[in-house]
């Protein structure tokens, strides 16, 4: 809907179409999701209160294959090959991390009771992470052994189903829920959101991502795994999101990582070991694995006094310049770093 349109106007529009909404959006942006036939679609396109109409699409996780492991030590080292992760003892304390994904195995011992189930916008009513992708991402953000911010609180917002896919409307509903509810959590030092997912370019997804950033939250998103310009996918193409490309243990751009001027920073995304449902761990590859390194770094920096406003720029400014080789022209070559480079 156009800016300034009230929810009552949305309801009137749907009533005139003789249809109901699957979701209504009022915080991230004004809009609704509904199933329309051709006549209803034509009518809604002609409605002066409607700014744009977007077709539903499938959103999916960004990971490739499992393999060997290396770890989070690269974030606190000047050169590749380090085996020690150095960090401030604050370690994300007083922050909250919302993981929009397949869910989190909140009972995993690596989370030490800091993980909570928040909401489900995927198909079905499952409160489990069957696929495992969300648990892996949450572990990189804040688990005891594999996490960047080891004291942050973790919240599962399930927007992808057990097969790792979801819909535009469901993902936007999850983003809307975060904008409405995240401030209710006890997070005195700030809130970060991780979205290790994406699909083709979506104005709705990007608008919702911009709303998250405008709410004062730090949003890290995966750049995508198609080895193309990140401008082709969402939410990676939203400028207000912190878009993360993937690098390997030799500081080369991962062969699958998207690139381009919209990539804000690189982080480890190849052979990443982290938590997996059932008290296990697993190794995964993908920009899905890179993004939670930066989400965790965001929580870490918030806990030691940085502010969410401009945090992505700060991460790029304090990262290791010209560290990533093989990047195409016009793509940043900076590797995320927590300031403890040895």
Please state the domain extents for the chain: 7-46, 58-318
**Taking residues 16-42, what's their average pLDDT?**
76
End-to-end CA distance of the chain: 51
Q: pLDDT class for 47, splitting at 50, 70, 90?
A: confident
* Lookup result for tokens 């809307």: 176
In the chain, what percentage of residues exceed pLDDT 90? 70
220 pLDDT higher than 70: yes
Residue pair 264/332 in contact (Cβ under 8 Å)? The answer is yes
Predicted local distance difference test score (pLDDT) of residue 20: 67
Which uninterrupted H or E stretch holds 137?
helix 133-142
The residues assigned a catalytic role are 101, 133, 288
Q: Is residue 49 classed as helix, strand or coil in its secondary structure?
A: coil
Which of 92, 143, 89, 175 shows the shortest CA–CA distance to 273?
Answer: 143
Predicted local distance difference test score (pLDDT) of residue 2: 59
**Taking residues 126-153, what's their average pLDDT?**
96
At 223-239, the pLDDT tens digits run: 999 999 999 999 999 99
At 259-315, the pLDDT tens digits run: 999 999 999 999 999 999 999 999 999 999 999 999 999 999 999 999 999 999 999
Q: Which residues contact 234 (CB under 8 A, 6 or more apart)?
A: 198, 199, 200, 201, 202, 203, 205, 206, 209
Is the bond preceding residue 235 a cis peptide, omega within 30 degrees?
yes
State the average pLDDT for the chain.
90
Predicted local distance difference test score (pLDDT) of residue 6: 64
pTM for the structure as a whole: 0.86
Alpha carbon distance 182, 178 (integer Å):
5
327 pLDDT higher than 70: yes
Residue pair 13/50 in contact (Cβ under 8 Å)? The answer is yes
Alpha carbon distance 157, 177 (integer Å):
9
207 pLDDT higher than 80: yes
Q: Is residue 292 classed as helix, strand or coil in its secondary structure?
A: helix
In the chain, what percentage of residues exceed pLDDT 70? 89
- How many helical (H) and strand (E) elements, i.e. helices and strands, does the chain have? 7, 15
Q: pLDDT class for 69, splitting at 50, 70, 90?
A: very low
8-20 in b/e form (b: 16+ CB < 10 A) is ebbeebbeebebe
Predicted local distance difference test score (pLDDT) of residue 57: 79
Residue pair 230/263 in contact (Cβ under 8 Å)? The answer is yes
**Taking residues 19-36, what's their average pLDDT?**
76
Alpha carbon distance 181, 217 (integer Å):
12
170 pLDDT higher than 60: yes
At 73-129, the pLDDT tens digits run: 899 888 898 888 888 889 999 999 999 999 999 999 999 999 999 999 998 878 899
Residue pair 220/294 in contact (Cβ under 8 Å)? The answer is yes
173 pLDDT higher than 90: yes
Residue 48: other Cβ atoms inside 10 A: 7
340 pLDDT higher than 90: no
240 pLDDT higher than 60: yes
Higher pLDDT, 55 or 106: 106
Q: Which residues contact 302 (CB under 8 A, 6 or more apart)?
A: 92, 94, 95, 189, 190, 192, 218, 308, 311
66 pLDDT higher than 50: no
Which of 320, 312, 255 shows the shortest CA–CA distance to 80?
Answer: 320
At 244-271, the pLDDT tens digits run: 999 999 999 999 999 999 999 999 999 9
Residue 278: other Cβ atoms inside 10 A: 11
* Lookup result for tokens 């198609």: 226
Reply yes or no on domain 58-318 having CATH 3.40.50.200. yes
């Amino acid at each position: 809907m156009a800016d300034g349109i009230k929810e009552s106007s949305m309801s009137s529009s749907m009533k005139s179409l003789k249809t109901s909404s699957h979701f209504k959006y009022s915080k991230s942006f004004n809009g609704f999701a509904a199933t329309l036939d051709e006549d209803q679609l034509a009518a809604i396109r002609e409605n002066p209160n409607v700014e744009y109409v977007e077709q539903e699409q499938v959103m999916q996780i960004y990971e490739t294959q499992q393999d060997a492991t290396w770890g989070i030590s690269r974030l606190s080292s000047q050169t590749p090959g380090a085996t020690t992760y150095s960090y401030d003892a604050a370690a994300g304390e007083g922050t909250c991390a919302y993981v929009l994904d397949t869910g989190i195995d909140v009972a995993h011992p690596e989370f030490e009771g800091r993980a909570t189930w928040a909401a489900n916008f995927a198909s079905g009513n499952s409160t489990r992470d069957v696929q495992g992708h969300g648990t892996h991402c949450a572990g990189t953000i804040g688990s005891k052994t594999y996490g960047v911010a080891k004291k942050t609180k973790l919240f599962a917002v399930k927007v992808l189903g057990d097969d790792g896919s979801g819909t535009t409307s469901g993902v936007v509903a999850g983003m809307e829920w975060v904008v409405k509810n995240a401030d209710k959590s006890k997070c005195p030092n700030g809130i970060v959101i991780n979205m290790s997912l994406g699909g083709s370019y979506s104005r709705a997804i990007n608008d919702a991502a911009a709303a998250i950033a405008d709410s004062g939250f730090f949003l890290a998103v995966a750049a995508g795994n198609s080895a193309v310009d990140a401008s082709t996918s969402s939410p990676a193409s939203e400028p207000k999101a912190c878009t993360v490309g993937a690098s390997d243990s030799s500081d080369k751009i991962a062969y699958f990582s998207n690139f381009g001027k919209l990539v804000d920073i690189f982080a480890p995304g190849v052979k990443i070991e982290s938590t997996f449902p059932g008290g296990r761990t697993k190794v995964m590859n993908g920009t899905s694995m890179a993004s939670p390194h930066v989400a965790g770094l965001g929580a870490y920096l918030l806990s030691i006094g940085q502010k969410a406003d401009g945090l992505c720029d700060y991460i790029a400014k304090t990262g290791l310049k010209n560290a990533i080789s093989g990047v195409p022209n016009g793509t940043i070559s900076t590797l995320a770093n927590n300031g403890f480079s040895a």
